[in-house]
Amino acid sequence: MDKEERKTVNQGQEDEMEIYGYNFCRWKLAIVCLGVVCTGGFLLLLLYWMPEWRVKATCIRAAIKDCEVVLLRTTDEFRIWFCAKIHFLSLETPPFSSPKSMADKISNGHAVHLTENLAEENRLEMNKYSQPQSQQIRYFTHHSVKYFWNDTLHNFDFLKGLDEGVSCTSIYEKHSAGLTKGMHAYRKLLYGVNEIAVKVPSVFKLLIKEVLNPFYIFQLFSVILWCTDEYYYYAVAIVIMSVISVVSSLYAIRKQYIMLHDMVAAHSTVRVSVCRANEEIEEIFSTDLVPGDVMVIPLNGTVMPCDAVLINGTCIVNESMLTGESVPVTKTNLPNPSVDIKGAEDELYSPETHRRHTLFCGTTVIQTRFYTGELVKAIVVRTGFSTSKGQLVRSILYPKPTDFKLYRDAYLFLLCLVAVAGIGFIYSIINSILNEVEARDIIIESLDIITITVPPALPAAMTAGIVYAQRRLKKVGIFCISPQRINICGQLNLVCFDKTGTLTEDGLDLWGIQRVENTRFLLPEEKVCSELLVKSQFVACMATCHSLTKIEGVLSGDPLDLKMFEAIRWFLEEATEEETALHNRIMPTVVRPPKQLLPESTPAGNQEMELFELPAVYEIGIVRQFPFSSALQRMSVVARVLGDRKMDAYMKGAPEVIASLCKPETVPVDFEKVLEDYTKQGFRVIALAHRKLESKLTWHKVQNISRDAIENNMDFMGLVIMQNKLKRETPAVLEDLHKANIRTVMVTGDNMLTAISVARDCRMILPQDKVIIAEALPPRDGKVAKINWHYADTLTQSRDSSAIDSEAIPIKLFRDNLEDLQVTRYHFAMNGKSFSVILEHFQDLVPKLMLRGTVFARMAPDQKTQLVEALQNVDYFVGMCGDGANDCGALKRAHGGISLSELEASVASPFTSRTPSISCVPNLIREGRAALMTSFCVFKFMALYSIIQYFSVTLLYSILSNLGDFQFLFIDLAIILVVVFTMSLNPAWKELVAQRPPSGLISGALLFSVLSQIIICIGFQSLGFFWVKQQSWYKESLPYSDTQAAVNTARSLYGNSSDLSNETNPDRHNIENYENTTVFFISSFQYLIVAIAFSKGKPFRQPCYKNYFFVASVIVLCVFILFIMLHPVASVDQILQIVCVPYQWRTTVLIIVLVNAFVSIVVENVFLDMILWKVVFNRDKQGEYRLSSTQPPQESVDWWGKCCLSWALNCRKKMPKAKYMYLAQELLVDPEWPPKPQTTTEAKALVKENGSCQIITIT
């Protein structure tokens, strides 16, 4: 086959997949059909579970461009297979010429985004086609996205809208006129209906999907087998449990589907007005919108049904659905490069880059403003699942699977049990054949052994602990939509925190201002609202430079803007809709101070004077606003004081940025020192600037002037100091996490030094710890990318070499830290831009920085997600706690994402806290650890239950006997089910401890625990079994007849059953004998003994004696078994088929049981916990990685398990399990790490295979 058989789609993206082509094969289909019939449908189930096998079994390989079915495999670590059928989209020749070229272009693969000049493309592409099938477009759908065949790429690619490859100039020149009806109809055929369809599956479909789970199929197999062998009671119990489990699961899944459907469908279909190419306005349903439509935004607002770029007017939008912030955002029209500065026309439009001009799907437009009759218009750029809301819904519908070692090891452990069952399976068949058992009985008996060794109740038992943990979390206000994540949260060893609203209070308080006069800072002033300052440019800037607006009479906007405006106590008035419609282009927003702050000498007659003669009426009109840009870190406005002939420009933003745009002579000499003093104290500092504009600038010219023309040559006016207080519980919670050896990382959009200060205040960074700031610069002017390393304490001083104090850079002390990192630790801090540069140009440094990175400032939403991925790449189990503001991606990607917001954005987070406090984090980790340990306990108990019962039956089989039907029933129903559902009720331990539970079952402590208990139980069962034969009163019990005994023994062996119709002749099965009675009593106690031994409490769960249901269950069962053993009751003995043995032997059995209990509990709770736990289970603190001459660094609890497996596979352990631990050991002996202060790391011009970098010391 040619190379087309394997391609990659979405290359370089998160959902990258390999694609293979196949065609249906009739003879293969016929063979599969025959196989399905011969296997009774089992082959069909197998092919249902394995898409890869299904396609390969029914199809043959084919070139991708001609295939009928595609097989897809993700390229991530999960390597999941999907299959999709190829469909054909028939494109009829439209009644106009231009779309014909687009049809050709799409079928030929070029239209991966919308074309801009259709006529020209028609001429270029027409000669490529001569066949009528060019109108047939091949595509397939995967995860709600259509992939069309692209002949140019020789691959499938998804259809894009105006969000890629379209310049801002073409937005206005080629798309602002709207579409013709013919072009609209044509694009709708391609793009389909504009809807985010979340179909709620029918109960029947969900039921079929649920019951086809392999575990439920196995349970069905077991139940049928037991019913065949007339073992009805336990079969009924399993059926009841399975039904309850299926019903509860169906209810939860369907409820989530309905919630998601309701969230999406609330405003999915509305009527919208669109502008057509002939300038007429047509009203259509929002489901008919396509990219390129010009949508009219109504005056009273709407819920956006698509992503659209604003080209006329302004909108006030609530984006809480996407960002989690309910603060209204002002959206302005996209700048038209043709009327702005030259050179900008080549800029490509991007929804992310131009967020301030883009209306996103699902967000609510609260108000619109239009001028002189011009409608507020927006061009549709994305529809359906391609929109921002659609992508969010897709991530919820098709989540990335969680890879957790527990679940992988659970399947491995089950395979081991299956192997054990296989041995018994073969042994049973051989013995049955040798004893000339009937074929029917051989089949039942040999299959029945599997139901003994692999317990069908295991899934329900494993789920119980998670369900109980979910209920406990709900009681403390934490809601979970992904229960399986609870176990994973028990492994978290690093938690990322957003700052504002998470670690600190939501709001900012105005601490004071520090004005500048004559290029010198004045003393800080606490009171801004005063008569002396009311007409100052400083207060005028605070009054005008904001994005506040009135919504239903209430002032709304950014909290920082609100605090500043409230501090000066001014009033804001906006023009009405009628005023904006009548006036030319603009009717300004007006701000005015309170009357009591103005001079009182104004005569009343002045109110009749001309505007420019009114000295006492002080009002400022906001003529033009340049919204805040996170990329520029500033905003500005053009305003005019009532009566002034010249306009004023005001600007505010990040102090460093504002100072760089001001005249140098207006910036105080000590600006950097004053700024550093404030940021070190944790204040958020905003700088203000102002300049008078030229009188020739009219209102009309201001509307078209570029931002850069305004924001330069300003006069520096001073600083506004805002205070962001820590939440009261923050330090205590972080202290608890540090004591538990859980690393904490701050991820914020705030200023770097402010973030470092907050990190020190909450003791995320201890006072003696050093902070190294990594300032990465991208390649520029032929120079390679580089990283400048600074100390946080010397960052601002380093700009002036004369200001650097050599005493402030303790290089020797820093070098000494490598010997003992507990004396002085170091942390890395960086901003979002530096982080992106490092990810792109310094891949080899990323793991090293992740090991010590503590503060990440000015991080964009996608950068937060990338950070979580980078931490996971070095094997951290990462938690993320945010208030929903821009944290959605990181919350979804983390192992445990906890949203402190109950807004719609949190629907993607696995956990949501009702109380907006980080105290939920230790609660979640504690419950996660408890649930994880419960899972281990239950799994170990179920494994021991299987092995104990397996060995009991094996011993009895040697004398052609077996356990009786009601003995099986008593063990399976009365003991196992009761114990397994009560032992999971242990609550979490009251505090976090330094140890972490193991991540998988294949670990030294757990393997030793299981194997030691197996040996102990087998030993004591064997002791009782062989000892009873040595008693003087012992008589060997023979079956009814030799031949029949062999048949009956083989039938009852492993079969969990006996023929109830033959209860009148119990000797027929040789059940009533001394060995049976002894083994039954010992094994019954052994189930309870291992349950007590495995039901551990501290340090992850409350002691088992606080689990009152478990204690009561064990006591009742022990008393009952002791009673029937020491005080025989004829009716009970008859039902359980127990023989009467001398009282002395009953006492002996009790002694055997007591010794068994003592040995089991001592081995499990003393030897294992006090010796192995401390030796193997003692992990180093994350982030400290100590070196000691007496004890090497511990790697993980899984070391012992790995050693066992390595020995079995004859391979050697090469490195620690966790990458970050291995890396920490390497860095301890690396003389070049950490980088010295005031050095630079440069990327190699030609990166070698090892991606090495060069460290150059600046002299």
Catalytic residues: 498
In angstroms, the CA 879 to CA 895 distance is 6
Residue 918 near residue 730, CB atoms below 8 Å: yes
Q: Are strands 364-369 and 281-285 parallel, antiparallel or unpaired?
A: unpaired
Residue 912 near residue 1039, CB atoms below 8 Å: no
Helices (H), 212-345: 214-228, 232-265, 320-323
Q: Are strands 826-831 and 853-857 parallel, antiparallel or unpaired?
A: parallel
Residue 514 near residue 497, CB atoms below 8 Å: no
All residues at 6 or more sequence positions from 1120 whose CB lies less than 8 Å from its CB, including other chains? none
Cβ neighbour number for residue 981 with a 10 Å cutoff:
20
Per-residue three-class SS string for 477-523: CEEECCCHHHHHHCCCCEEEECCECCCECCCCEEEEEEEEECCEECC
In angstroms, the CA 899 to CA 921 distance is 10
Sign of CA dihedral 906, 911, 912, 916: negative
Q: Which helix (H) or strand (E) holds 958?
A: none
All residues at 6 or more sequence positions from 665 whose CB lies less than 8 Å from its CB, including other chains? 519
In angstroms, the CA 418 to CA 491 distance is 28
Partners of 786 in the β-ladder: 777, 1242
Cβ neighbour number for residue 660 with a 10 Å cutoff:
11
- Cis amide prior to 916 (ω within 30 degrees): no
In angstroms, the CA 891 to CA 111 distance is 35
Cα distances from 284 to residues 53, 294, 310, 385, in angstroms, run: 46, 12, 19, 20
Partners of 899 in the β-ladder: 882, 912
Nearest to 771 by CA among 808, 721, 723, 803: 808
In angstroms, the CA 362 to CA 379 distance is 16
Q: Which helix (H) or strand (E) holds 149?
A: strand 145-150
Helices (H), 229-331: 232-265, 320-323
Q: Which helix (H) or strand (E) holds 860?
A: none
Nearest to 139 by CA among 261, 19, 1, 37: 19
Residue 935 near residue 1058, CB atoms below 8 Å: no
Cα distances from 440 to residues 39, 282, 342, 971, in angstroms, run: 17, 76, 89, 27
Sign of CA dihedral 209, 214, 219, 223: positive
Cα distances from 903 to residues 322, 323, 907, in angstroms, run: 9, 9, 8
Residue 317 dihedral angles phi and psi, to the nearest 5°: -125, 140
- Residue 616 per-residue DSSP state: S
The token duo for 130 is: 């001569």
In angstroms, the CA 1085 to CA 1212 distance is 41
Residue 485 near residue 935, CB atoms below 8 Å: no
